[in-house]
Chain A
Amino acid sequence: MRQAGAYSGILSGGGVSGRTGPHLLPLARIKKIMKKSSVDVKMISGEAPLVFSKACELFIEELTKRSWNTTIQGKRRTLHKEDVASAVATTDVFDFLIDLVHPNASGDVDLDEEHVLEKK
């Protein structure tokens, strides 16, 4: 049985406008990334990018705070990539990021190269 049925009831009450309120992340870009993630994704409901906008904020905050713990343990005040890698390695729910923070292990160098190009 779908557990998600309860959520739609809570969310749909009151009429939702996907663009109301301030958003810290661009909804259109979130939608593009969602479409890229799977060839089967054809349509995305209006509120889905909004849900992701808030979820990404929570995700960033959690990842940042866990990374900062590592920074503090090293008696530093500057958050580095290694601190993020440490947070990923020590947090179960971040397992899907292991290949990202340890690219040498997975051979996934392309992502890093493209990211460097984007910065230019």
Chain B
Amino acid sequence: MIEAARIHGNQKEKRRGGGNCHWRRQSTKTIMKDYTSIDLFSSPSPSHLAVRFLPIANISRIMKKALPANAKMAKDAKEIVQEAISEFISFITSDDKCQKEKRKTISDDDLLWAMGTLGFEDYIEPLIIAIRASQ
């Protein structure tokens, strides 16, 4: 809950205070209420929508790296890739290996195994290299 508020920067806004921040305190209450709700992802608030996708700016940056310098990207292309990423994460995470083994914790090991099973075996080696490089 606290982490969620920090992500949205509302904790910092609350500390700043000031009469003109009243609307910000109100939105903090709304967001905090959403995060205390058990069924978070069926809430219609903007904060609920935001957690379904990764930030489009970050995705756009990665896409740009993969394209030539003179390439352009339409907004609808970025948006569909944004949605595709969330589908990818769900697709890999939902692999029922943990279920079969009656475990409730997903490890990085499980993710790599799932990727190999679901056709993304080409990712495994560069992933291991990249993760070891970041250690």
Residues of A that sit less than 8 Å from B by CB: 2-5, 7-8, 10-11, 13-17, 20-21, 24-26, 28-30, 32-34, 36-38, 40-45, 47-48, 50-52, 54-61, 63-65, 67-68, 71, 77-81, 83-85, 88, 92-93, 96-97, 100-101, 111, 114-115, 117-119
A47 touches B67 (CB 8 A): no
B55 touches A54 (CB 8 A): no
Interface residues of B in 23-59 (CB under 8 A from A): 41, 46, 49-55, 58-59
Q: Can you list 29 A-B contacts (CB < 8 A)? A: A7-B112, A8-B107, A14-B135, A17-B135, A20-B134, A24-B61, A25-B58, A26-B58, A32-B51, A33-B89, A37-B93, A40-B104, A43-B105, A51-B112, A55-B88, A55-B127, A56-B88, A56-B89, A58-B127, A59-B84, A65-B66, A68-B67, A79-B77, A80-B74, A80-B77, A81-B79, A84-B77, A115-B79, A115-B82
Majority secondary structure of chain B interface residues (helix, strand, loop or mixed): helix
Residues of B that sit less than 8 Å from A by CB: 3, 7, 41, 46, 49-55, 58-59, 61-63, 65-68, 70-74, 76-77, 79-94, 98-99, 104-113, 115-116, 118-120, 123-124, 126-128, 130-135
